[in-house]
Amino acid sequence: MKIRQLFIVGMIFFLSSCSKLDLNPLSEPSNETWYTDQTQVQMSLNTLFLHQFWPIAKSETPGATAAFDEFCDDWTNRATLLPFTNGTLNGQTATVEAIWSYTYKAISRCNTILAYIPQSKDNLSTELYERYIGVAGFVRACQYSRIITLFGDAVYFESDMDLDQAFKAGRTDKNEVLKHIYDDFDYAIAKLPVSYSGSEIQYPTRGAAYAMKARIALYMGDWETARDAAKECMDLNIYQLYPDFGTLFLTKTKNSVETVFGIPRSVELGVMLSGGNITAYLPRTIGGTSTGNPSWDLFCAYLCKDGLPIDESPLYNPREPFLNRDPRCTATIVEFNTRFLGFNYTPHPDSAKVWSYTQGTQIANKDSKAGDQYASYNGLMLKKGIDEDWTDDLQSDPDKMIMRYADVLLMYAEAKIELDDIDQSVLDAINQVRARAYKVSYTQTGSYPAVTATNQNTLRRIVRMERRMELAFEGLRYYDILRWRLAGKVLNRANYGLLTSTADLKNKLVNANLWFFPGTPDIDEDGTPDFSTMTNKSLIRELSKRVFDESKNYLWPLPTADVVINPNLGQNPNY
């Protein structure tokens, strides 16, 4: 991690510890006297990168009770569902209130900076002055992008409102807000540097502005803008795919060549993952709770090494379900009978004990029903991004990657596919991402299942599946199933898991030679598995039934308290 990036983390920690998150970027200094020199402006800009303003993990947004990965079909928490997946989402849902509140607090801070930064103009070079305006505009654009994606029409304002105005404000059509978002991104593109020197604070770059513009354009179905912005980011020629997908997300991999926009963390400075964001994903054998697991839906979505889904590939064996799969499968989900966090991981019902490499002896296997009744309900354990750094003190500080180059490539490909503007660059973009998983060049088409299709519908399915395999547990799947209008399908299906008792597992699966999967589910055109046959035979069990109301849940409700105070806001349909 660069020294100057650590400075930003330190400033964020200091400011978040000593000041309330109100409309003023510092505790209570006068705006008329504060924005007068470079240090003051930088301190204000630094607060725009507080982690609660960039929500992915739940603990990083105070008041939020869930993380974005938990809202989709890639995740399961035993038999527990959330308001986003059980049909009870409403304007009093804590996460809805927290995301709305913190996003608008960030927007207000941006507006305050932009209103008062002219006071520093005489003390800054023109280049720095315009750069700092670009940084504030970039953040404002990102925040409004979240609002229109989740809530639709937005309360749009570029200067802070007094209470009377706030109580009467209405919402602006999201398409009009999108124009303002593009304006902010375009200014940032013009004024932010392509890169920073080692002595400079590492604020977002021109590439980040291109990429985040591409993302909101993609989410809004503006394919031409998404294509062009992604291509501009690619043409900067400063980002690369990190050579090893498996280690890209680990704590030791800081500020990689793939990171287009990220926010650093630091255990030393108190900005880190901890508590439930650590223990929920750790095995019970070493003291975790294993309550946040990859779903069987996700596990079955990974293609085989021939590029075919598991129900079509002759390479797939349900008795050895990790064998011959896309390498991102075992980089994301812990393969059975492999070393993980110092011990041999297996959920096998005959394995009451497992080998501990750190202790050099057999230890109780709490990740099997033979050793713990609360063992993982579906046998799967998350591996992506998790290493021994998580277990030594239950604190970890991997970079928070908001945008990485693989996403840029896939956005470019998707936009071109939707435009039916399919050429070699589309195939190259997808193949670069896929080939990296196999640790080969995308030009080595015989060493991985290179994409060669040119049909629009076929490529649409391919790029969507590629996104799922590549971006799992990065907080993006939920956004994807909303914009693809797939949530009504995938979130109205059940979560499945293992049978409850050890005796049933042994008699119905192990003794019948049906462990781990007692069959191969059919995979539909959207990559969704059908487990009904196995369920009907009582070989697996339904853990919970997801519920998604298509008449309303494609948008979030506005917080009830805000609507009560200001009826002019209205409410999204059917809430």
DSSP string, 352-395: SEEEETTTTEEEE-TTSTTT-TTS-SSS--B-TT--GGGTSSSE
pLDDT at residue 29 in the model: 57
Say if CB 113 and CB 26 are below 8 A apart: no
Length of the chain: 575
> For residue 84, how many other CB atoms are within 10 A of its CB?
24
HSE on the CB side for 431, CA within 13 Å? 20
Helix (H) or strand (E) holding 536, with range, is helix 532-536
Pairing of strands 361-364, 353-356: antiparallel
Omega of the bond leading into 157 within 30 degrees of 0 (cis):
no
Give backbone dihedrals phi and psi of 325, rounded to 5 degrees, phi first. -100, 160
CA 542 distance to own-chain centroid = 26
Q: Distance between CA atoms of 344 and 365, rounded to whole angstroms?
A: 9
Residue ranges in the chain modelled with pLDDT below 50: 1-28
Assess contact for 396 and 562: CB atoms under 8 A: no
In this structure, the number of other CB atoms found within 10 A of the CB of residue 326 comes to 23
Percentages (nearest 5) of helix, strand, coil residues in the chain = 45, 10, 45
Contact 473, 69 (CB under 8 A): yes
In the chain, the domains with their CATH numbers are 3-62+86-235+557-565 (1.25.40.390)
Q: pLDDT for 93-110, tens place per residue? A: 999 999 999 999 999 999
d(C-alpha 240, C-alpha 256), whole Å = 9
Contact 243, 439 (CB under 8 A): yes
Q: What's CA 236's distance to the chain center, in Å?
A: 24
Using DSSP, state whether 530 is helix, strand or coil.
strand
Q: What gap in Å lies between CA 449 and CA 459, rounded to an integer? A: 14
- For residue 339, give the DSSP letter: E
> Which of 231, 223, 230, 212 lies closest to 416 in space, CA to CA?
223
**Rg of the chain over CA atoms, in angstroms?**
24
Query: pLDDT at position 30, please?
Result: 65
**C-alpha span between 458 and 80 (Å, rounded):** 35
- Given this model, what pLDDT does residue 15 score? 33
Helix 424-437 vs helix 456-471: crossing angle, to nearest 10: 30
Distance, in Å, from the CA atom of 496 to the CA atom of 494, rounded to the nearest integer, reads 6
Bridge partners, 76 (sequence order): 293
The answer, as to whether pTM is greater than 0.85, is yes
- Contact yes or no for 212/138 (Cβ under 8 A): yes
Residue 313, φ and ψ in degrees, nearest 5: -85, 130
* 3-state SS, residue 401: strand
Decide: 32 and 119 in contact? Cβ < 8 Å.
yes
Question: How many H-runs (helices) and E-runs (strands) does the chain carry?
Answer: 22, 14
Backbone angles phi, psi at 131, to 5 degrees: -65, -45
- Taking the C-alpha atoms of residue 237 and residue 262, their distance in angstroms, rounded to an integer, is 18
515-572 confidence digits (pLDDT tens): 999 999 999 999 999 999 999 999 999 999 999 999 999 999 999 999 999 999 999 9
Cα separation, 286 vs 291, in Å, equals 14
